């Protein structure tokens, strides 16, 4: 049936004219064009981000996994005339990783860093932020600057600084000699302790800043009202401030955990993972397998894949924690 016929038939009833039919078609076409444009806009916005994510995150992760189950032990070109004989050989590299005693030392050290970050940097950052925000000490600006200062100094500079500080001829033995003149430096029974101390000192400022920013958002009149009603400083902290900051605390914990797994630069410069791998972490352990002596890239990639899996597990855990404790602001 043509448009004219449609209009004529409809016209009998005096409902639809030829012009109406044409208008309806125009509207439909316009709607379709809008949907197409919407789709185009969507892909235009999403595609660059997706491509970048795929190129720098997803692809290297997948590629790393493939290398970890391959015979790409000594490296070499994968394509071209000089390409190596590349084969998938199974999970032998993973077995090697799990048989290596120093893998567990590295893993343990990573967890120590997670612990010092979550239960050291965050509480300390919060306490310092609380003291400064509530004006419990004078010169708050000065203290804020001093505490935040390590965050703006290059990690390599800090690493070299503390490497010298803790060396047997450095400042640390001299400090001890003030109290014990007969002191002779000996090897530290727990060399990781000095590394953890530096990590605590270095990153507490970041959490201080996060907590101060969020503490400033809390309306001071609420705290004052509570005080008028007879609440103590501790009660104000316990029942007003901490609940208001619960979401920030969980977010800080996520930041701390993800940052801990990435630990490399400071430890690499400060100790190189030594002595006898006592201060190594997974990233240094992986780096050593790839670059110290003849490389074993399959093994290094197996460690890298294990690190990705651990990251997913920890992110899952923090998400669970967020569900339970977060978002009460």
Partner 1 sequence: MTKLRKVALVALIALFSVSMVFAEGAKEASADGKVTLRVLNYIDMSEPNSANEVALVWDKFSAENPDIEIIREDLFNEPFHQKTESYVASGNVPDVLYMWPSGRSTSLHTTGSVQDLRPWLERDGLLDSFSAPSLAGQAGGYLGELPNGVTSSHIMFANTKLLADNGLAMPETLDDLIAMVDVLAPKGIQVIAMDNMDSWVMQSCLFSLVVGRYGAADWYDRLAAGEIKFTDDWFVKALEAIDTLYAKGVISRASLNSPYGNCRGEFAAGKAAFLIDGDWAAAAFMEDITTGKALLSREQQANDFEMVVFPALPGEVVSNTTSGVVGTGWGMSADLEMGTPKAEAAWRLIKYLQGEYVQEYRLSTGASFPSNLNVDVAKVIEEKNLEPFIGKRAEFYNTYGTTPVIDGVLHSDVYNIINVGLQEIGLGAKTPATVAAEVQKAWEAWAASNI
| 185 lines the binding site for partner 1 (CB under 8 A) | yes
Work out how close the CB of 158 gets to partner 1 at its nearest, in angstroms, rounded to a whole number: 15
Pick 96 or 134: Cβ nearer partner 1: 96
Tokens of 170: 């450095």
The interface with partner 1 within residues 201-260 (CB under 8 A) comprises none
Q: How many residues bind to partner 1 according to rule CB under 8 A?
A: 40
Cross-strand pairs, 70: 88
Residue with tokens 């998938």: 88
**C-beta of residue 281 within 8 angstroms of C-beta of residue 214:** no
Member of 107, 231, 242, 290 binding partner 1 (CB under 8 A): 290
| 48 lines the binding site for partner 1 (CB under 8 A) | yes
Q: Which helix (H) or strand (E) holds 315?
A: helix 297-325
Pick 4 or 177: Cβ nearer partner 1: 177
**C-beta of residue 214 within 8 angstroms of C-beta of residue 126:** no
Member of 19, 49, 141, 293 binding partner 1 (CB under 8 A): 293
Cross-strand pairs, 88: 70
Pick 118 or 267: Cβ nearer partner 1: 267
Q: What is the DSSP letter of 69?
A: T
Please choose, from the candidates 239, 260, 241, the residue with its C-alpha nearest in 3D space to the C-alpha of residue 318: 260
| 275 lines the binding site for partner 1 (CB under 8 A) | yes
The interface with partner 1 within residues 93-122 (CB under 8 A) comprises 102
Cross-strand pairs, 194: none
Pick 185 or 259: Cβ nearer partner 1: 185
Q: What is the C-alpha separation between 323 and 246, in angstroms, rounded?
A: 11
Work out how close the CB of 150 gets to partner 1 at its nearest, in angstroms, rounded to a whole number: 21
Peptide bond into 275 cis (omega under 30): yes
Member of 86, 264, 295, 311 binding partner 1 (CB under 8 A): 295
Member of 43, 53, 91, 98 binding partner 1 (CB under 8 A): 43
**C-beta of residue 125 within 8 angstroms of C-beta of residue 213:** no
**Residue 88 DSSP SS3:** strand
Q: What is the DSSP letter of 74?
A: S
Q: What is the DSSP letter of 111?
A: H
Member of 12, 178, 228, 294 binding partner 1 (CB under 8 A): 294
Member of 166, 207, 211, 285 binding partner 1 (CB under 8 A): 166
| 92 lines the binding site for partner 1 (CB under 8 A) | no
Q: What is the C-alpha separation between 89 and 217, in angstroms, rounded?
A: 57
Residues in touch with partner 1 (CB under 8 A): 39-40, 43-44, 47-48, 51, 74-77, 82, 102, 163-164, 166-169, 184-188, 191, 271-272, 274-278, 287, 290-295, 297
């Amino acid at each position: 049936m043509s448009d004219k016929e449609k209009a004529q038939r409809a016209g009998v009833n005096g409902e639809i004219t030829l012009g109406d039919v044409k208008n309806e078609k125009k509207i439909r076409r316009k709607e379709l064009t809008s949907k197409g444009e919407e789709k185009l806009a969507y892909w235009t916005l999403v595609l660059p981000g997706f491509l970048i994510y795929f190129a720098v995150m997803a692809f290297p992760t997948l590629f790393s996994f493939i290398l970890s189950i391959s015979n790409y032990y000594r490296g070499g070109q994968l394509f071209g005339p000089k390409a190596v004989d590349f084969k998938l050989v199974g999970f032998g590299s993973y077995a090697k990783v799990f048989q290596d005693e120093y893998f567990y030392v590295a893993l343990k050290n990573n967890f120590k860093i997670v612990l010092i970050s979550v239960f050291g940097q965050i509480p300390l950052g919060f306490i310092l932020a609380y003291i400064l925000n509530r004006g419990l000490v004078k010169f708050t600006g000065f203290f804020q600057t001093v505490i935040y200062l390590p965050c703006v100094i290059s990690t390599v500079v800090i690493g070299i600084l503390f490497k010298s500080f803790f060396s047997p001829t450095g400042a640390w033995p001299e400090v001890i000699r003030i109290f014990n003149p007969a002191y002779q430096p000996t090897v530290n029974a727990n060399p990781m302790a000095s590394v953890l101390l530096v990590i605590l000192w270095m990153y507490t400022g970041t959490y201080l800043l996060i907590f101060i920013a969020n503490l400033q958002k809390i309306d001071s009149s609420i705290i004052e009202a509570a005080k008028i009603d007879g609440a103590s400083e501790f009660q104000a902290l316990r029942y007003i401030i901490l609940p208001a900051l619960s979401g920030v605390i969980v977010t800080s914990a996520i930041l701390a955990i993800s940052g801990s797994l990435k630990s490399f630069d400071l430890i690499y410069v400060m100790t190189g993972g030594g002595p006898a791998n006592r201060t190594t972490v997974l990233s240094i352990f992986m780096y050593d397998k790839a670059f110290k002596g003849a490389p074993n890239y399959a093994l290094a990639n197996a460690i890298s894949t294990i690190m990705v899996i651990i990251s997913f597990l920890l992110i899952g855990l923090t998400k669970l924690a967020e569900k339970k404790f977060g978002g009460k602001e």
